[in-house]
A and B are shown apart, each in its own frame.
Chain A
Amino acid sequence: MWDFFIVIFRDSTSILLVALGILIMQLGGVINIGAEGMMLIGAFFGILGTFLSGYTGLGILIALIILAIFGFLFGLMTIYWKGNQVVVGVALNLLAEGMTTTLSRQIFGTGSQSTIQGFKPIFLGVSVMTYVALALVLALYFFLYHTNLGLRIRASGEYPIAVDIAGIDVYRVQLTAVVIGAMIIGLGGCSLSMAHMNSFSELMTGGRGYIALAAVALGQYKPIGVLLASLMFGASNTLQYHLQASITKFPAPIIRIIPYVVTIIAVIISGKNSKDPSALGKKYIKFS
């Protein structure tokens, strides 16, 4: 039974991290369809950095720097230049797919030349990334509800006019949220390629960015809720793997839909309680 929990935590770590990153962005009022792409970029540069430097820590640092740059550009385009957030997000996904695939073929060739010494399980069978993710849940809770900047971010997503009238630069607050969020998403990518696997492979994120997007809505925009939603996805995935492995006579596609059925049920049940930030996806034009 305990093994089962380990698998659930292992499987949901990357989704949880990405969801937390999306959470902070969306609370700030910026929709991030590009999470999948950001995750892929994080996964790739984490491996590349480790490969080049020989240290996992340095690899993660490089991934975070790259993601901060991408987050900054994303914020610049959506917040300052008023690009459509969904369109820019989709563009980012396409860019990330092409960029990581091309770079990985250029640098690593094909096969598993990108293999590194990733993170080993340290305590109770899961790697340090899982603990980082859990710690981040608490940290984000504190940040969003008990610090100035956190409150400003949430206000910008809810009612930016109020923030503006209070004399605070809404754009800068949102940009900060986007950059921090992008970095956390990148960490999620790193956890997939460096802790769950030890190598990068093309398009390895496999839609986890979108699942994380759903997890944020399901978690009702609260860190604890996001944690529970991510664990639910992890659990339904784990169930699916184990059913597939143990029931061989049953058609696999029917077992594979379990996570999606679970999602639909969860959305139906929690849907009416979940409220998006009021200014989510809206372009705000400052007074000054």
Chain B
Amino acid sequence: MFRKTNIFVFIVLAALCVLLLTACGQTANNSQNAEPEKEKQESNTETADHSQYKVALVLPGTINDEGWNATAYHGLELIKEAGFETAYSENVKTSDYEAVYRGYASKGYNLIIGHGFNFLDPAKAVAADFPQTMFGVTSTVEYADPNVFAIDTNSSDAGFLAGVLAAKMTKTKVVAVPCGLEIPGIIRYATGFKQGVEYVDPEIKVLSSYTGSSSDTAQLKELTAAMVKQGADIIAPNADQAGLGAFEYVKEHKDLRIIGVYGDQKALAPDQILTSAIIDMPGAIEQVAELGFKGQLEAKAYVFGVKEGSVWLTDFSSDVPQDIQDLLKDVIEKIKNNEIEVKYVLE
């Protein structure tokens, strides 16, 4: 059954793959080294010192996924523009996290950011061996002394603002948060939303649930439909790409209004979107790098919300009356002054 020629073919193919792999690895390294070099010369005049500080980003997916990984990469680009020396690894498998961490740390990188809460354990495992390096992990609030810290964007703040707006705009006294994956960032948005609605009127009913998928648009559309059946007239979806399903449903029913999240989603439903709650992950990464450069990073949870200027609302649509716009500006001020405390919880 198993002929010798078969085995030979397998071995040749395997050898070819290994050869190609090493070739790829080298070119990737070269380009990474070459680009900061160029950058260095350009930005020498204003921020010469930044180039001494080396930042690496480890991504679980590709940099051009226009979502989770792309936002972090965008942050890295901001850092690069500021003159830092940067490098990144994309599409890193869970089993390789530790190896990649060790690689960057032993090359003398000062700050290594793992993009996702599952980078936490590998970071803890490696951190003790490289006390000079700071290890950042996004989308978590867990940290470990002395050099593993957490970076998170405060989606609860974003949810709170969306909740206040929804509660003010609803006519049916029912609002809905159809969500995708049940992950910290999205759960915190939903809990923040509930707090926001409660802040305005505890009588208003909040419908919130999860489909468990970040890509199944049809499922999210049906969940939205079911929520509208329960009376919801303001929808604030948070489901990554599957969120399109909610926009789709809202566009088919002109009396509904929708609130975007993460980026400006105005283009998806120009006539019916009230505003988008921006959560600025790139900005957060840039701030962390700046802190690291100043030597101020410590093992703690850095949470970037309204106060840090990482969460805000885009321009309101004309459907939002002036007094409600003023109220929201007031709420943002109050959060900044600690007059309103948005609970940052997972429940």
Residues of A in contact with B (beta carbons under 8 Å apart): 3, 7, 10-11, 14, 105, 109-112, 192, 196-199, 201-204, 206-207, 237-238, 241-242, 244-246, 248, 252-253, 255-256
Q: Please report the C-alpha to C-alpha distance between residue A14 and residue B216 in the assembled complex, in whole angstroms.
A: 13
Given contacts A248-B209, A252-B182, A252-B210, contact A204 B223 (CB under 8 A): no
Given contacts A244-B209, A245-B229, 15 further A-B contacts (CB under 8 A): A105-B64, A111-B268, A112-B247, A192-B218, A197-B248, A199-B248, A201-B215, A201-B217, A202-B241, A206-B215, A237-B219, A237-B222, A238-B222, A241-B225, A256-B210
Flag if A197 contacts B215 (CB, 8 Å). Answer: no
Select A241's contact among B206, B212, B226, beta carbons within 8 Å. Answer: B226
Q: Please report the C-alpha to C-alpha distance between residue A246 and residue B209 in the assembled complex, in whole angstroms.
A: 10
- Tell me if B245 counts as interface (CB < 8 A to partner A): yes
- Tell me if B244 counts as interface (CB < 8 A to partner A): yes
Flag if B208 contacts A248 (CB, 8 Å). Answer: yes
- Tell me if B267 counts as interface (CB < 8 A to partner A): yes
Size of the chain B interface, CB-CB below 8 angstroms: 35
Flag if A206 contacts B213 (CB, 8 Å). Answer: yes
- Tell me if B256 counts as interface (CB < 8 A to partner A): no
- Tell me if B279 counts as interface (CB < 8 A to partner A): no
Instruction: Report chain A residues within 8 Å CB of B229.
Output: 3, 242, 245
- Tell me if B258 counts as interface (CB < 8 A to partner A): no
Residues of B in contact with A (beta carbons under 8 Å apart): 64, 66-67, 176, 182, 205-213, 215-219, 221-223, 225-227, 229-230, 241-242, 244-245, 247-248, 267-268
Say how far B261's CB is from chain A's closest CB, in angstroms: 14
Q: Please report the C-alpha to C-alpha distance between residue A109 and residue B211 in the assembled complex, in whole angstroms.
A: 25
Flag if A244 contacts B268 (CB, 8 Å). Answer: no
Tally of contacts, chain A with chain B, CB under 8 A: 92
Flag if A204 contacts B216 (CB, 8 Å). Answer: yes
Flag if A197 contacts B245 (CB, 8 Å). Answer: yes
22 sample A-B contacts, Cβ–Cβ < 8 Å, listed by A number? A3-B229, A7-B225, A14-B218, A105-B66, A112-B244, A197-B218, A201-B215, A201-B241, A201-B242, A202-B241, A203-B215, A206-B215, A238-B226, A244-B210, A245-B209, A245-B230, A248-B209, A252-B210, A252-B212, A253-B212, A256-B211, A256-B212
Instruction: Report chain B residues within 8 Å CB of A252.
Output: 182, 209-210, 212
Q: Please report the C-alpha to C-alpha distance between residue A187 and residue B343 in the assembled complex, in whole angstroms.
A: 48
Which residue of chain B is the closest to A205 with respect to CB atoms?
B216
Select B216's contact among A112, A206, A248, A253, beta carbons within 8 Å. Answer: A206
Instruction: Report chain B residues within 8 Å CB of A11.
Output: 218, 222
Flag if A245 contacts B215 (CB, 8 Å). Answer: no
Instruction: Report chain A residues within 8 Å CB of B216.
Output: 203-204, 206-207
Which residue of chain A is the closest to B223 with respect to CB atoms?
A241
Flag if A197 contacts B217 (CB, 8 Å). Answer: yes
